[in-house]
């Protein structure tokens, strides 16, 4: 499902896809917003049941209504099929409704809900660090600021906050380091790893115990799996009772590579690796 999400979200960069839901019309084209919305509806219907429900609800709500939630969890009642939008488009053919001062902020809010860009990841981590002020969270702003990815931004915020919540346990006191690594052209996709690691803190449990808990949807890791499932892939690294192991809790193939032995010298804490697949930065 993660790659299916990447295939769908790349359409926000294509003129015959979803691009003009978040961009003004190209002056060299002869576009009509109502026709565009109808075409986008068809593209979304073709993905029914193939993408996570939260992302589907966001796209459906913006195209059809009645409401949708932005990247901050704020509910919006304006949508592309609302009477005010349709009537304005009929009275202003060929002009994108984002040029209406009343509608423009709505399109901005939607764009910021499906894409991280322009220091967006840096801002998200800064907001999370402010929320979890009891934690010592550090990151390289210069590294995070250029990151540009299409994703369900509100869900990503929920994931990051939940990871940090698990690290708020008073038994764990290590500094938390956040970083991002990207790799191009992996079987036709760009891959980005958001890494959140609590230095000097380790699992202290068996790998099998963690697998069983996640499989049952129990505890914090079970909650994290529910948030991440279908949106990203997810691995954790630590020193376990069995030794240094990477556990691939959500991955492309569920039939192999669940556990991977890793170099003990490379394990400096409890590390979450949140993996994005996307077709463009």
Q: What is the pLDDT of residues 7-56, one digit of tens each?
A: 999 999 888 899 999 999 988 778 889 999 999 999 999 988 889 999 99
Instruction: Using alpha carbons, list the distances in angstroms from residue 237 to 38, 147, 217, 240, 270.
Output: 45, 23, 19, 9, 6
Q: Sign (positive/negative) of CA torsion 30, 9, 77, 73?
A: negative
Q: Which residues neighbour 228 within 8 Å (Cβ) at sequence distance 6 or greater?
A: 159, 234, 250, 274
Measured from the Cβ of residue 3, the count of other Cβ atoms closer than 10 Å reads: 15
* Per-range mean pLDDT, top range of 106-120, 159-173, 262-276: 106-120
Distance in Å from the first CA to the final CA of the chain: 19
pTM of the entire predicted model? 0.90
Angle at Cα 235 formed by Cα 230 and Cα 240, nearest 5°?
145
Place 112 in a pLDDT band, splitting at 50, 70 and 90.
Answer: very high
Task: Express each pLDDT in 24-38 by its tens digit.
Answer: 998 877 888 999 999
Classify 238 as helix, strand or coil: strand
pLDDT in tens, 188-237: 888 899 999 999 887 767 777 777 777 766 677 888 888 998 899 999 99
pLDDT score for 184 = 77
Give per-residue pLDDT as tens, 72-105: 999 999 999 999 999 999 999 989 999 999 999 9
Rounded to the nearest 10 degrees, what angle do helices 219-228 and 153-166 cross at? 170
Average pLDDT over residues 236-264: 79
Domains and CATH numbers, the chain: 2-115 (no CATH), 120-278 (3.30.565.10)
The pLDDT of residue 281 is 47
For the stretch 74-88, what's the b/e string if a residue is b when 16 or more beta carbons lie within 10 angstroms of its beta carbon?
Answer: eebebbbebeebeeb
Cβ 127 vs Cβ 71: under 8 Å:
no
């Amino acid at each position: 499902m993660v790659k299916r999400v990447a295939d769908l979200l790349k359409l926000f960069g294509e003129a015959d896809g979803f691009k003009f839901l978040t961009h003004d019309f190209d002056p060299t084209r002869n576009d009509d917003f109502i026709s565009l919305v109808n075409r986008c509806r068809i593209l979304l219907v073709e993905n029914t049941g193939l993408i996570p429900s939260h992302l589907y609800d966001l796209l459906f709500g913006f195209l059809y209504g009645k409401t949708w939630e932005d990247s901050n969890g704020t509910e919006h009642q304006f949508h592309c099929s609302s009477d005010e939008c349709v009537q304005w488009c009929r009275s202003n053919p060929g002009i994108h409704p984002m040029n209406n001062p009343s509608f423009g902020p709505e399109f901005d809010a939607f764009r910021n809900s499906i894409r991280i860009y322009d220091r967006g990841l840096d801002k998200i981590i800064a907001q999370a660090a402010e929320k979890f002020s009891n934690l010592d969270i550090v990151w390289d702003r210069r590294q995070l600021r250029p990151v540009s990815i299409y994703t369900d931004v509100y869900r990503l915020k929920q994931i990051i906050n939940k990871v940090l919540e698990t690290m708020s346990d008073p038994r764990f006191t290590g500094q938390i380091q956040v970083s991002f690594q990207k790799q191009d052209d992996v079987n036709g996709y760009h891959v980005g790893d958001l890494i959140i690691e609590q230095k000097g803190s380790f699992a202290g449990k068996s790998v099998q115990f963690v697998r069983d808990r996640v499989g049952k949807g129990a505890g914090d890791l079970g909650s994290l799996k529910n948030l991440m499932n279908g949106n990203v892939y997810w691995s954790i690294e630590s020193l376990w009772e069995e030794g240094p192991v990477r556990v691939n809790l959500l991955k492309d193939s569920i039939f192999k590579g669940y556990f991977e032995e890793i170099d003990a010298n490379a394990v400096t804490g409890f590390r979450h690796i949140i993996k994005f697949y996307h077709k463009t930065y």
